[in-house]
Amino acid sequence: MEDPDLREWISLADADGSTWHFDVTFLTSNYGCVYGRGCPGVLTEPAPEYEHGCCTYGAHFVSEADRTAVESQITRLTADEWQFAAEAAQLGGAVHTDDEGETVTRMIDDACIMLNRPGFAKGAGCALHQGAVARGERPMDWKPDVCWQVPLRYDAHVEAGGHVNHVLREWKRRDWGEGGSEFAWWCTDDPLAFAEDRPVWKTLRSEIVELVGAEQYERLVDYLMGRDGASEAPSNGTGVFLAHPQVRRRRASDGETLGHDREMKGSS
């Protein structure tokens, strides 16, 4: 029986002696965020009508620099762009230290205080994301690190001998900690989120570059585009990369043949 999470990886040695590992199956998949397009959210029961997406539990900041950058952008939002601006002012700001001593965004009405809800004049969605788009800027320069990185996950591991392994992969529900197992739905676990017309390495180029650097990104692209001499679309000897587990799942449910993806994923 095929491993339900069978996937391809590549490892690239760096000049500094470290190694970069890339989850090729996810990066060549047609994953795409479905927020605002029926996303069931991450509550214990599907609730697309709330339009929470993965913002239900707020954001945890990874560093003081992360917090400072976000708070700076929050000051740029106007009251007509941020539904809970007045409430945040009364509470002492959108960011605080919770009972566990962690720096997080506040919660209001059972979701992140930065999340505009259905019925708000500017529409539902992250006020920071919307504010950036309205100004022609990158949302990733406005939002907490964890918010713009999902569904990508970057980790660095140091072996006993000092060798560094850099890993770029998809964000799985386990990455949310114990609470992730309680989600009724998680996007990279469901075929619903695999319907884009371009691969992740193209649609999330800016995010990948921010995480691994332009040099490593270009090395990745060179590999994807060059394998088996492909000039426009990547392949693995059979013409394609191994399809993502959720794409294989969808095809199995549709009665299609499992195995390697027969659609080229590098087309523009």
Q: What pLDDT, in 10s, does the model give residues 57-89?
A: 999 999 999 999 999 999 999 999 999 999 999
User: What six digits make up the tokens of 12?
Assistant: 């690239």
Q: What mean pLDDT is predicted for residues 219-234?
A: 73
What's the confidence (pLDDT) of residue 152? 98
Which region among 50-59, 226-235, 254-263 has the lowest average model confidence (pLDDT)?
254-263
177-211 residue pLDDT tens: 999 999 999 999 999 999 999 999 999 999 999 99
Q: How far is CA 7 from CA 185, 190, 259, in A?
A: 21, 16, 11
pLDDT of residue 116: 98
Q: Contact at 8 Å (CB) between 52 and 40?
A: no
Q: Which pLDDT value is given to residue 261?
A: 41
Q: What percent of the chain has pLDDT over 90?
A: 84
pLDDT at 55 over 90: yes
pLDDT-derived band at 254 (thresholds 50, 70, 90) equals confident
What average pLDDT score do residues 245-262 get?
70
Instruction: Give me the chain's average pLDDT, please.
Output: 91
* 165: pLDDT strictly greater than 50: yes
- Close Cβ partners of 245 (under 8 Å, ≥ 6 residues apart): 4, 5, 6, 7, 25
The whole-number pLDDT of residue 260 equals 39
Angstrom distance (rounded) from CA 219 to CA 6: 24
Residue-level length of the chain = 268
- Identify the band that residue 238 occupies on the pLDDT scale cut at 50, 70 and 90: very low
pLDDT band at 228 (very low <50, low <70, confident <90, very high): low
Ramachandran region of residue 249, left (φ > 0), alpha (ψ -120 to 50) or beta? alpha
In this prediction, residue 253 has a pLDDT band, given cuts at 50, 70 and 90, of confident
